[in-house]
Amino acid sequence: MPLKKRFLKSKPQVKVTFELEKDAAGQAEKIFLLGEFNDWSPIELQKFKNGKFKATLDLPTDAQSEFEFKYKLITADGNEAFENEVEADGYRMNEFGTENSLLSVQPC
């Protein structure tokens, strides 16, 4: 899933697009994004006709000069599973002994 980051000049925000290709989604009918950026509340990615899943979030950049957010994906295909993003900016261990994907934001 490519991560796309676009810094806004008009606001202290970065527009982050999370995208999951059809091949990576497998048989999943729904994919949810959970992360520190929204207190781990699930956000459903929109499924497109071509099989891709996508969500775009506006994250603030005015709180500090750089920051990192941990996140995971949940696939809902009958066998719910937590997955890491293969194209994440990095990975960090969590309190469950597994890794979370990492989104790094460094404003311009």
Please list, in sequence order, all residues whose beta carbon lies within 8 angstroms of the beta carbon of residue 91, skipping any fewer than 6 positions away: 84, 99, 100, 101, 102
pLDDT tens column, 10-50: 888 888 898 888 887 778 888 888 888 888 898 999 999 99
pTM, two decimal places: 0.77
Ranges 14-18, 85-89, 94-98: which has the least confidence: 85-89
Please list, in sequence order, all residues whose beta carbon lies within 8 angstroms of the beta carbon of residue 106, skipping any fewer than 6 positions away: 65, 66
Average pLDDT for 81-98? 80
Is the pLDDT assigned to residue 1 strictly greater than 70? no
At residue 40, the pLDDT reads: 87
Kindly report the CATH class assigned to 3-105: mainly beta
Per domain, the residue ranges of the chain are 3-105
Q: Classify 85 as helix, strand or coil.
A: coil
Rounded to whole angstroms, the Cα distance separating 31 from 66 reads 28
Q: Classify 41 as helix, strand or coil.
A: coil
Rounded to whole angstroms, the Cα distance separating 84 from 76 reads 14
Residue bearing the bigger pLDDT, 85 or 1: 85
Rounded to whole angstroms, the Cα distance separating 14 from 12 reads 7
State the residue for tokens 């790094």.
Answer: 104
